[in-house]
Structure 1
Amino acid sequence: MFLFDWFYGILASLGLWQKEAKILFLGLDNAGKTTLLHMLKDERLVQHQPTQHPTSEELSIGKIKFKVDAVVYLVDAYDKERFAESKKELDALLSDEALANVPFLVLGNKIDIPYAASEEELRYHLGLANFTTGKGKVNLTESNLRPLEVFMCSIVRKMGYGDGFKWVSQYIK
């Protein structure tokens, strides 16, 4: 099954196939933002030059237009030397008042590379060990918590990020 069919099927089963959402892809350089965007857009894996300037693209899958209703924050799980820098940027985003109610999906990318961080290690270094909300369907309206969760993935192997998007899609209104 192609990624689009699978992704569209997930969103349709969740009743989200006609929703419009603005999703912001953020993270340090070389985390996989452009690769993920192109993988979702046309299911192609190509070598990209590092992105020099902020870019904006509208991605449509079925009747869904992704334009900020959610933040996807990518972290290179192999580049452990930059975890502190990644944590600093993530902390700044999480404390930004404009994003106070926005769901955050943290993707630990590049788990296909030997010695990449485990999910537990990444959670620890990002300071998220006790601050995520759970991977299932969690009702957060009563607790007034922001949806925040970590999923490990390999964009080049097309694994893991689909589960993350399925999770975040339940919080898009």
Structure 2
Amino acid sequence: MSLVNWFSGALASLGLQLKEAKIVFLGLDNAGKTTLLRMLMDETLVLHQPTQFPTSEELSTGKIKFKAFDLGGREIARRIWPDYYATVDAVVYLVDACDKERFSESKRELDALLLDEALADVPFLVLGNKMDIPYAASEDELRCHLGLTGLTTGKGKVNLADQTVRPLEVFMCSVVRRMGYSEGFEWMSQHIK
């Protein structure tokens, strides 16, 4: 079963089959945003050049349609992020779990997003990508470096009526090995309003 079909099934099971969702893929350059989007579209693994310009893809299956935006992660590209996330339904924030030297830079960008009023009620799925590489950070290490220890909302099933805080969770994944991100999207699908 493809992730797109699974994702649409998860949304349908939540009664969201008639909704349209807008999701932005954010994170520093080389975190895997474009690779993940391509995997969600057609399950192909392609070597990509760094994203130069914002791209969007509409993915739909049956009555479910969502628009995903890959905005690039280079410093110059980050300046336009606010132009796109003002009306999003969810944020997928990717972190290269192997590039430990850039964790503080990634934390600064994530902190700015989490403090932005336009994203105050938006669920955040943080994906620690490249967990298949032996020297990648563990989930606990990534949470610590990103300042998320004790701030996430849990990976279990949720009751949307009981929510008083913004949904925020970390999942470790390997986009190239097709591991971990489906669980993250399943969690996120519970929180899309």
TM-score (norm 1): 0.93
Query: Which residue is equivalent to 2:80?
Result: none
Query: Which residue is equivalent to 2:17?
Result: 17
Deviates more, 1:126-135 or 1:13-22: 13-22
Preserved contact between residue 109 and residue 153 of structure 1 (Cα < 8 Å): yes
Q: Deviations over 1:87-132 (max 9, x none)?
A: 0000000000000000000000011111101100000000000100
Query: Which residue is equivalent to 2:133?
Result: 113
Identity %: 79
Structure 1 runs of 4+ off > 4 angstroms? 140-143
Structure 2: which 5+ residue stretches go unaligned? 68-87
Deviates more, 1:79-88 or 1:142-151: 142-151
Residue of structure 2 aligned with 1:99, choices 111, 119, 137: 119
* C-alpha separation in 2, matches of 1:89 and 1:70: 16
Q: Deviations over 1:39-66 (max 9, x none)?
A: 0011111111111122222222333222
Preserved contact between residue 104 and residue 149 of structure 1 (Cα < 8 Å): yes
Query: Which residue is equivalent to 2:142?
Result: 122
Preserved contact between residue 140 and residue 147 of structure 1 (Cα < 8 Å): no
> What amino acid is the match of 1:41?
M
Q: 1:142 to 1:11 in 2, by over 3 A?
A: closer
Query: Which residue is equivalent to 1:42?
Result: 42
Preserved contact between residue 16 and residue 169 of structure 1 (Cα < 8 Å): no
Deviates more, 1:154-163 or 1:50-59: 50-59
Query: Which residue is equivalent to 2:66?
Result: 66
Preserved contact between residue 119 and residue 152 of structure 1 (Cα < 8 Å): yes
Q: Larger % of helix: which?
A: 2
Preserved contact between residue 98 and residue 135 of structure 2 (Cα < 8 Å): yes
Q: 1:94 to 1:161 in 2, by over 3 A?
A: same
Structure 1: which 5+ residue stretches go unaligned? none
Show the 5 A alignment for 1:116-155: 116-139=136-159, 141-142=161-162, 144-155=164-175
Alpha-carbon deviation of 1:171?
A: 1.0
Q: What is the SS of the residue equivalent to 2:57?
A: coil
